[in-house]
Amino acid sequence: MDIYLPIAAISQDVFVLLALGGVVGFLSGVFGVGGGFLLTPLLIFIGVPHAIAVASSANQLVGASVSGALAHWRRGNIDFHMGIVLLVGGFAGSAAGVWFFALLRRLGQIDIAISLAYAILLGTLGVLMLVESTRAVLRLRRPGAGQRKLHQHIWLHGLPFKMRFRRSKLYISALLPLALGFFVGVLSAVMGVGGGFVMVPAMIYILGMPTAVVPGTSLFQIIFVAAGVTVLQAVENGTVDAVLALVLLVGGVVGAQLGTRFGTQLRGEQLRALLAILVLAVAAKLAFDLTVRPDDLYSLETIGQ
């Protein structure tokens, strides 16, 4: 059954979209990541225009992260103080990102920029994850090793404008979360991702936050950054397809719940290795498409509707 997407102005099989949302939701449930970084490339693979894939993914992300953040909020695992500081940086970053997106679009380079950004980010991420999970598997076989200090104070924490974050038990410079929020905001606007896969490790290793509050706080700020990106994309570029986002969301919600249950029955290290391989496969496909000579060197864009 085909559904006509009003902004993308194309027809897509509604079951393909539901399945896509479901698969990405399932993966995000299993691995505890947002899944936006897989959703956008998959939408591009099935033929949704790059710009619309990015903006509609951001829209879908609002719903997905509300759902996730609520679960963490009920357990009291959100540091709102930290979330708001991240958010201030995030809004500035997403405004800059949407502006940059519009500029690339005018220059006719947006498709290439999105593919390239994904190929680089997913490639790097995949390799890091694979290395990390391999080490974890090896460490398991050598009991006693792998102890690490819970919180190390590094020079970055001593920058000016120090702030106290009670829930995270931290007293660090506010510039750090501001900069992190900004960077993830740019990613969110240009790539349609929540940036959880950058935010979560950065919160643990750079900010030094306790692991328990990391996913909730990350999801909390993603809600608002994704909301901001959606509105800005709608106004600046007119690329948000709300129908597409809602269909993906329906599939995603069901997938996420199934994924969460499935995820608890699997071992973490193997799971992360699996995700790393998946991420690398997507990166490889994107990189391949960028470097192989296209069938037609010419491409066409119609101006206005």
Chain residues binding other proteins by CB under 8 A are 1-4, 6-7, 9-11, 59-67, 70-71, 74, 108-109, 112, 116, 223, 227, 230-235, 238, 240, 242-243, 245-246, 249-250, 253, 257, 290-294, 296-305
For other proteins, which is the closer residue by CB, 150 or 301?
A: 301
For other proteins, which is the closer residue by CB, 26 or 165?
A: 26
Query: Cβ 297 to other proteins, closest distance in Å?
Result: 5
For other proteins, which is the closer residue by CB, 61 or 85?
A: 61
Q: Which residue in the block uniquely carries the two structure tokens 């991702």?
A: 193
Query: Cβ 305 to other proteins, closest distance in Å?
Result: 7
For other proteins, which is the closer residue by CB, 11 or 124?
A: 11
Rounded Cα distance, 162 and 174, in Å: 6
For other proteins, which is the closer residue by CB, 145 or 297?
A: 297
Rounded Cα distance, 144 and 207, in Å: 26
Query: Cβ 168 to other proteins, closest distance in Å?
Result: 24
Query: Cβ 271 to other proteins, closest distance in Å?
Result: 20
**Token code pair at residue 22:** 């479901």
Contacts of residue 117, defined as CB under 8 A and 6 or more positions apart, other chains included, come to 190, 191
Rounded Cα distance, 36 and 194, in Å: 6
For other proteins, which is the closer residue by CB, 123 or 210?
A: 123
Q: Give the CB-side neighbour count of residue 154, counting CA atoms within 13 A.
A: 11
Rounded Cα distance, 13 and 18, in Å: 9
With CA atoms as reference, report the closest residue to 78 among 214, 223, 260.
214
Rounded Cα distance, 121 and 204, in Å: 19
Query: Cβ 280 to other proteins, closest distance in Å?
Result: 18
Query: Cβ 32 to other proteins, closest distance in Å?
Result: 15
With CA atoms as reference, report the closest residue to 193 among 41, 19, 20.
41
